[in-house]
A and B are shown apart, each in its own frame.
Chain A
Amino acid sequence: MDPLILSRMQFGANISFHILFPTITIALGWVLLFFKLRYNATGDSAWMRAYFTWVKVFALSFAMGVVTGVTMSFQFGTNWPGYMQKVGNIAGPLLAYEILTAFFLEAAFLGIMLFGFRRVSNRIHTLATVLVAGGTTVSAFWIIALNSWMQTPAGFEMRDGVAHAVDWWAIVFNPSMPYRLVHMLLASGLTVSFLIAGLSALRYLKGDRSESMWKALRTGVFTAAILIPIQIFAGDQHGLNTLEHQPQKIAAMEANWNTGPNVPLVLFALPDEAARENRFEIAIPDGASLVLRHSTDGVVPGLNDYVGNHPPVFPVFWGFRIMVGTGLLMLAVSWSAAFFLRRRHRLPKPLALLMVPMALSGWLATLAGWYTTEIGRQPWLVTGVLKTADAVGPVAGSHVALTLAIYLILYAFLLIAYLGVLVHLALKAAKDGDSSPLPGVMNAALSQPSAGE
């Protein structure tokens, strides 16, 4: 097979697997801080129990994020040497700042956060939690800045075929960066709130009515219910920003083949790129014009303006629909759960049963969204500057295929193990309820094995 396709699949596989874990740690750090601050304010040990249950998930997710992230830093060189040769002057400093300002901070204080509860004062332990949570967010800031720059490059000039920085402010805060950053941080918040709500619902179904379960469940459900409308609004703004700067991506997302007014909103279709038309289309008349231009005769860009220079339509179209569909489902589930928790102080069983698989809905929406925006950037690696095909390295296809196969097996194995541990931790917490020993009280370290665990 073609090394280009294989390298793309490999990069896609690696970064898809990687993004699952930062998506959790970015927001989970802040949720842990919330638990810790509530404990500091109320002295209620149930908050600390919630902290200790979820700090384990954090530690595991962090480790998964680190090791898969190391893989990414090598992949630039092993598979895509053309990327750094062309835009290394821009990408380099952004990546360097991510390492310097975020990675070390997180890694150094994670130890104190996990194992230091009794070794440092409560104040320092809280500070360590702040620094770790801050580190994950700073890391997201830099990497989103770089990714957005690849989508909507700004603040540079080309000299001898190589990009040179002219204005760092314009590079970091490029046109799509603020939208993408907000969208991603909210996605992380939603992923974590549904994960917490879902695993707490599992504890609920197992008959656990402990205070720490209620606290985690309420935190998850209410955070989700608050964040999802904000996310829908932010996503819409992000879409309008894409319309302005990357119209060909919008055309593919809407599977709109011809530029013009009164464009329908396609709900279902099988886009056929060979025939340049949609099959089995179900659409709302004038819908896309209304959503994107806020008027029924608004002109929506079509793929006919970008022949040979637009992304593959099928994956972008469907990635977008899976993301939006998942988002709407999240709205329905989180609002019903919030209603029952506030008014009835209980969860109906069917809703709790639905919330358990919805624990992973954030992952699904995040991946679908990233596929939409990243495949939507093709055929460019850096829009208008570097084509993906021109960045691939001279490695033999057989090497890439072999390593890709092993990565996929490894990732499948790790994913199963990871999900297994999450369920195991939830069931164990359900069994222990409020009687689980608090670390520091019963001589059990947070992330260390203890008898019977």
Chain B
Amino acid sequence: MTLDWPTLLPLIFAGLMGLAILIYVILDGFDLGIGILFAAAQDAEQDTMIAAIGPFWDANETWLVLAVGLLLVAFPLAHGVILTALYIPVFVLLVGLILRGVAFDFRAKVPTERKHRWNRIFFLGSLIASLAQGYMLGVYVLGLDVGLGGMAFGALVALCLAAAYAAMGAAWVIYKTEGELQKKAVRWLRTALVLTALGMAAVSLATPFASPRIFDKWFVLPSMLYLSPLPILSGLLFLWLWRQTFHLPKADDRHSLTPFLTLAAIFALGFAGLAWSFYPFVVPDRLTIWQAASAPESLAIILAGTVVVLPVIIFYSFYAYRVFGGKATDLTYD
């Protein structure tokens, strides 16, 4: 492989897209998770939970727009193939995101007697969007196979991703709240973790067995040795976090961010594993990133902008999180 621009640019964009998806999954993961946990929360708790994500969700969802945007602009051929194959699940995802996004605002602005309706819509939208994302992941892992087996597997991954998001949501609630709600969130986290672990194991096992090519990438020496830290570390983090749920919340609110960071690390490890499995394909076993990429000169002009703008975006995103740092009950002014 020669390292000239036509080779490098698609690689860089695959990396950027992967990064955008990972950031999206982590950030909007906790938004969607909190929506799912709405079903188990009281009225007052729901207001606090919304306050914990209200200032952020919009920017979080923008990472999805960036990820899809990068797929669209950097790998237009893949964008077409993947999205036409996943037509119905994409549609379901969009309906879920629409309902979730508008419910945020409607629930705060409609007359009080209609607030409950929008709370339910917020829950449903979050759940639908999470399930759709999980289903799409499952079907994608199997090479966009939409036979009966693929659908069943998609359904399993859908449930597990929803659980993983719920775990993220619970971890965020642990970080952003205190008192009874925080204790409740610890219990939510423990339950959701089981399903999350199950889901990650399912995807990890299904991927190599669905594709001999991926099997060969993992189960040959010496790659097997280099790769072994990925599953082992994930497993250890899961176990450690599981134990932590019996000790949280701690005095002086120590380690309240730890569950969230641990989950984010687990997500990142799982994502790295997926990336390794599929590289160099953007559509499994059909299109490589180079076959699907746009013209180098177009990629170059996007990259130039990205290099300048992305650090600025990350900087002001951190600023926004800092402005709304601390416990979410503070969100009402003073």
Known A74-B83, A448-B47: A67·B98 in contact at CB below 8 Å = yes
**What sequence of 0s and 1s flags, for each residue 70-113 of chain B, a beta carbon within 8 Å of any chain A beta carbon?**
11111011011111100110110011011111101111111110
Task: Pick from B47, B51, B65: contact of A69, CB below 8 A.
Answer: B65
B332 (CB) vs chain A CBs: closest residue: A445
Return A103 CB to nearest CB of chain B, in Å.
5
Stretch from A75-83, A247-255, A302-310, A353-361 that touches the partner: A75-83
The A434-453 residues at the B interface (CB cut-off 8 A) are: 439-440, 443-445, 447-449, 451-453
A62, B108: Cα distance in complex, Å: 14
Task: Pick from B98, B108, B324: contact of A449, CB below 8 A.
Answer: B108
**What sequence of 0s and 1s flags, for each residue 69-112 of chain A, a beta carbon within 8 Å of any chain B beta carbon?**
11101101110011011001111110111011101111111111
The B275-323 residues at the A interface (CB cut-off 8 A) are: 294-295, 297-298, 301-302, 305-306, 309-310, 313, 316-317, 319-320, 323
In the assembled complex, 27 residue pairs joining A and B whose CB atoms fall closer than 8 Å, in A order, are: A62-B58, A63-B102, A70-B94, A71-B94, A73-B65, A82-B80, A88-B294, A89-B294, A89-B298, A90-B298, A93-B305, A95-B73, A96-B69, A101-B305, A104-B62, A108-B316, A108-B319, A109-B316, A112-B55, A115-B55, A165-B298, A420-B110, A421-B106, A443-B333, A448-B51, A449-B47, A453-B108
* B231 interfacial by beta-carbon distance below 8 Å: no
| B76–A88 CB distance below 8 A | yes
* B4 interfacial by beta-carbon distance below 8 Å: no
| B297–A165 CB distance below 8 A | yes
Residues of B within 8 A of A99 (CB): 62, 65-66, 69
Residues of A within 8 A of B66 (CB): 99-100, 103-104
Counting from the closest, the 5 A-B pairs by CB-CB distance are A81-B80, A92-B73, A111-B55, A77-B83, A84-B76
Return B15 CB to nearest CB of chain A, in Å.
15
Residues of B within 8 A of A275 (CB): none
Q: Which residues of A contact B (CB under 8 A)?
A: 56, 59-60, 62-64, 66-71, 73-74, 76-78, 81-82, 84-85, 88-93, 95-97, 99-101, 103-112, 114-120, 162, 164-165, 168, 393-395, 399, 403, 406, 410, 414, 417, 420-421, 424-425, 439-440, 443-445, 447-449, 451-453
Task: Pick from B64, B74, B310, B333: contact of A444, CB below 8 A.
Answer: B333
Known A109-B320, A445-B331: A410·B98 in contact at CB below 8 Å = yes
A68 (CB) vs chain B CBs: closest residue: B98
Task: Pick from A66, A120, A168: contact of B58, CB below 8 A.
Answer: A66
Known A85-B76, A115-B324: A424·B108 in contact at CB below 8 Å = no
Task: Pick from B55, B302, B324: contact of A93, CB below 8 A.
Answer: B302
A451, B113: Cα distance in complex, Å: 11
Q: Which residues of B contact A (CB under 8 A)?
A: 47, 50-51, 54-56, 58-59, 61-62, 64-66, 68-74, 76-77, 79-84, 87-88, 90-91, 94-95, 97-102, 104-112, 115, 294-295, 297-298, 301-302, 305-306, 309-310, 313, 316-317, 319-320, 323-324, 331-334
Residues of B within 8 A of A445 (CB): 51, 331-333
Return A89 CB to nearest CB of chain B, in Å.
4
Residues of A within 8 A of B105 (CB): 59-60, 63, 447
A114, B88: Cα distance in complex, Å: 35
| A448–B101 CB distance below 8 A | no
B109 (CB) vs chain A CBs: closest residue: A421
Task: Pick from A77, A119, A168, A421: contact of B324, CB below 8 A.
Answer: A119
B297 (CB) vs chain A CBs: closest residue: A165
Task: Pick from A96, A110, A118: contact of B305, CB below 8 A.
Answer: A96
| A164–B297 CB distance below 8 A | yes
Return A182 CB to nearest CB of chain B, in Å.
25
Known A104-B317, A112-B323, A443-B333: A421·B73 in contact at CB below 8 Å = no
| A78–B91 CB distance below 8 A | yes
Task: Pick from A104, A118, A421: contact of B59, CB below 8 A.
Answer: A104
| A440–B333 CB distance below 8 A | yes
| A85–B331 CB distance below 8 A | no
Task: Pick from A64, A395, A440: contact of B84, CB below 8 A.
Answer: A395
| A63–B83 CB distance below 8 A | no
Residues of A within 8 A of B305 (CB): 93, 96-97, 100-101
A89, B73: Cα distance in complex, Å: 7
| B61–A66 CB distance below 8 A | yes
B60 (CB) vs chain A CBs: closest residue: A107
Known A60-B106, A76-B72, A95-B69: A70·B302 in contact at CB below 8 Å = no
| A93–B73 CB distance below 8 A | yes
Known A111-B54, A118-B334, A444-B333: A70·B97 in contact at CB below 8 Å = yes
Q: A67-B100, A97-B305 are in contact. List 20 more A-B contacts (CB 8 A).
A: A63-B105, A66-B61, A74-B68, A88-B298, A90-B298, A92-B76, A92-B302, A96-B70, A96-B302, A99-B66, A100-B310, A108-B313, A110-B58, A111-B59, A165-B301, A394-B84, A403-B87, A420-B110, A447-B54, A453-B111
